[in-house]
Chain A
């Protein structure tokens, strides 16, 4: 089946530093990837849609200069949280679509970010 790998699974960083999270589709090419954030006991919130070879589309209220998304190849998208603050501590989850249109999404196992 379709596998999406996310790395790292957990990271602790100091306030003011930047953290990069990688999302890879291991056995398929993904023209579109999505980044979500989830706070404890809450649902997933869509942050942005990442399209290979073009700029990401951010959801309303998500700062594009703070959450940098790069989708340089059909199998890799990265999310960089710049100048992280404690309120950015969250569970970040990526997903990728195999195929187009309304094909199902395949999710990574998430990255637990803790900013101290």
Chain B
């Protein structure tokens, strides 16, 4: 499976933007880049995903490098509720769809 590399942890201050990086140098042309986040003792929550172009939704923005070997999840104004483990995942294309295998993720701490 194509791997992703993320920093183990990052810190941010409340109401400031946060840029969470992810490297995926072995990405293939059909792999989508997915981001999920997980709060303690809960299932992961979908944040955003994309293929080549930058993506925006109500939660975040996803900036994808031109060569697709890295991407950045952008939280425009961090809140305390954004403290979570953020996972950057490449989809693995199968005949019936794709499956997602999780790496270690980045623990985001948001300081008040």
Chain A residues packing against B (C-beta within 8 Å): 4, 6, 31-32, 34, 36, 43-46, 49, 51, 91, 93-95, 97, 100-110, 112
Contact yes or no, A104 B104, CB < 8 A? no
- B 84-110 to A, binary, CB cutoff 8 A, 1 in contact else 0: 000100010110111111111100000
Given contacts A51-B96, A102-B32, contact A46 B101 (CB under 8 A): yes
Number of interface residues of B (CB under 8 A): 26
Between A and B, 28 residue pairs with Cβ closer than 8 Å are A31-B97, A34-B99, A43-B103, A43-B104, A43-B105, A44-B44, A44-B102, A46-B99, A46-B100, A46-B101, A49-B96, A93-B43, A95-B43, A95-B44, A97-B97, A100-B97, A101-B97, A101-B98, A102-B93, A102-B97, A102-B98, A104-B46, A105-B36, A107-B44, A109-B42, A110-B41, A110-B43, A112-B41
Given contacts A43-B105, A104-B49, contact A49 B99 (CB under 8 A): yes
Chain B residues packing against A (C-beta within 8 Å): 32, 34, 36, 38, 41-46, 49, 51, 87, 91, 93-94, 96-105
Count A-B contacts at CB 8 Å: 64
The distance from the CB of B90 to the nearest CB of chain A, in whole angstroms, is 10
Contact yes or no, A6 B43, CB < 8 A? yes
The distance from the CB of A69 to the nearest CB of chain B, in whole angstroms, is 14
The distance from the CB of B27 to the nearest CB of chain A, in whole angstroms, is 13
